[in-house]
Amino acid sequence: MVLLTFCGVILGSAVGAFFVSAQHQASMEILVHQERLEPLLTPESTQSAGSATPVTDSQVNSEVELLKSPDLLEQVVLANNLQDVERRAFPSRLIYGNKSDAWYVARAVDHLSSKLNIKMVTKTSMIQVTYNALSPQRAYNVLHTLADKYLEKHLAVHRPQGSYVFFTSQAEKYGQALQQSEARLAEFSKKSGDAAPDLEKAAMAQQVVNSVAALHETQQKIAAEKQRIDHQEARLGTTPNRSLTQQVTDSAQSLLQKLQGDLLTAEIKKTELTTKYDPSYPLVQEVDQEIAQTQAAITSAEKLQYVNQTTDRDPGYELIREDIIRTRADLAAHQALASALENSIRGLQTQMVELDQRALQQADLARDVKTNEASYLLYVSKREQERTSDALDEKRIANVAIAVPPVLPILPWISPVLVMAIGVVLAAFASTAAAFVAEYLNPSLRTPAEVLEVLRIPVLASVPRQTA
């Protein structure tokens, strides 16, 4: 039993070593990193980007699932004619008979999926892919084709086709819209004659503020001047229009002199009459009466005094009158100024309303220009980015890379010497274990000592077994 067990295990090891020596394993490793950063197309200098964020397990697992996708495996099967291998396989012909090409392709895809060992390398962002085949060339070709098809599928999944054409058409569309909006803005400025209504409105608003302030100041002056005129007119009514400038007091000297001369003449006449006539004579009496009247007139004249006064216009009265005239002139000027300011304010406010409407229209046109310009620049930059991405995609520059490409496996997957060495150790262990198990399970008694020990009866005689 020991020999049979030992030889059987050795024979099985030899068969296993034969099949193992026929298996060749090809492997490759795929590095997953962050999405490639598109260059920023700006007029400013491009600053160096910071450190990239680490790759997450979900991203790596997504790439693993992409490698296991049936459509990708089907492309690999068709590229390497693995369906023909399935068609020539004896078990398939024996069990299933002849099937269609699609069935063999599906079976080859299923076998390829089971033979591909795709796993994420621990604590890294790399994916290890291994494939075993009897032919080393087939193992290499399968992994090489899988790498090419995988990169193509990765680029197709992460970058939809036709984006460059779309961004180009959108850039042309918004370029034409930008030109049209700029033409409308220029035409509006030309027709309205206002290059900057907002600035004009701001300047006009400041002018309105100044005019309103001037109007209030003028109205205050008008009120003050009216009150001043009323006050001055009241003072003018109580102020005399003329004032005494010179006063000379004099007696009636000339009258006295004349009366005294008349008196002297009358006395001389009386003297002449008295020498000729009697005092009762009528001429003499008449002269006496004249002398008495003259003396009475002299007496009255001596009591009289003449006052000569000189008057002129009063200075205060004239100042008040001149101030009233000047104030009335200023009042008329300020009233005219207030009326002009009111008309000017109304005109400025009307112009401001018109400027505000034109400013709104110009703002709408300018906003259209800015919107179209922003969209145009956006789509131009996106178009350039897509053009750059397409150029990079042609060189297979993506966020995955074949870090360790597959190589042709010359040596077998496992060394047959190692398999035979393991087989010898297993054969020795198995044969020894089989002997102990057989000994333990065998119920027969082989020696007199066993008979005495088990049955507890004496052994009278023992005959050894002899071979014929």
Residues whose CB is less than 8 angstroms from the CB of residue 37 and which lie 6 or more positions away in sequence, other chains included: 49, 52
Dump pLDDT digits (tens) for 14-44.
Answer: 776 666 666 778 889 888 876 555 444 444 4
DSSP secondary-structure letter at 117?
Answer: E
Dump pLDDT digits (tens) for 115-146.
Answer: 888 888 888 888 999 988 878 888 889 989 98
Banded pLDDT at 268 (limits 50, 70, 90): confident
**Considering the domain boundaries, does residue 410 fall inside one?**
no
Burial class (CB in 10 A: 0-12, 13-18, 19+), 13: buried
pLDDT in the model for residue 34 = 66
pLDDT in the model for residue 45 = 44
Collapse the DSSP code of 251 into the 3-class scheme (helix H, G, I; strand E, B; otherwise coil) and give the result: strand
DSSP secondary-structure letter at 280?
Answer: T
Range of the domain at 299: 242-313
CA pair distance 2, 281, nearest whole angstrom: 228
Banded pLDDT at 422 (limits 50, 70, 90): confident
Across the range 422-438, mean pLDDT stands at 82
pTM confidence score: 0.45
Residues whose CB is less than 8 angstroms from the CB of residue 110 and which lie 6 or more positions away in sequence, other chains included: none
**Considering the domain boundaries, does residue 348 fall inside one?**
no
Banded pLDDT at 201 (limits 50, 70, 90): confident
Residue in the block written with tokens 């009278």: 460
- pLDDT beyond 70 at 424: yes
pLDDT in the model for residue 40 = 47
Radius of gyration over alpha carbons of the chain, in Å?
71
CA pair distance 167, 387, nearest whole angstrom: 10
Element (H, E) at 461: none
Residues whose CB is less than 8 angstroms from the CB of residue 352 and which lie 6 or more positions away in sequence, other chains included: 201, 204, 205, 208
Across the range 231-256, mean pLDDT stands at 71
Dump pLDDT digits (tens) for 242-254.
Answer: 666 665 555 566 7
Across the range 347-367, mean pLDDT stands at 80
CA pair distance 21, 19, nearest whole angstrom: 5
Banded pLDDT at 358 (limits 50, 70, 90): confident
- pLDDT beyond 80 at 410: no
pLDDT in the model for residue 49 = 46
**Considering the domain boundaries, does residue 264 fall inside one?**
yes
The answer to whether 70 touches 109, Cβ cutoff 8 Å, is: yes
Burial class (CB in 10 A: 0-12, 13-18, 19+), 464: exposed
Number of domains in the chain: 1
CA proximity to 309, closest of 254, 242, 241, 249: 249
**Considering the domain boundaries, does residue 105 fall inside one?**
no
Least confident of 257-266, 308-317, 453-462: 308-317
**Considering the domain boundaries, does residue 144 fall inside one?**
no
CA pair distance 432, 9, nearest whole angstrom: 12
CA pair distance 434, 439, nearest whole angstrom: 8
Least confident of 115-119, 150-154, 322-326, 461-465: 461-465
Residue 193, both tokens: 């004659």
On average, the pLDDT of the chain sits at 78
CA pair distance 117, 53, nearest whole angstrom: 28
% of the chain beyond a pLDDT of 90 = 2
- pLDDT beyond 70 at 221: yes
pLDDT in the model for residue 243 = 67
Q: How would you list the strands of the sheet with 24-32, edge to edge?
A: 117-120, 126-133, 24-32, 400-404
Element (H, E) at 402: strand 400-404
- pLDDT beyond 50 at 48: no
**Considering the domain boundaries, does residue 252 fall inside one?**
yes
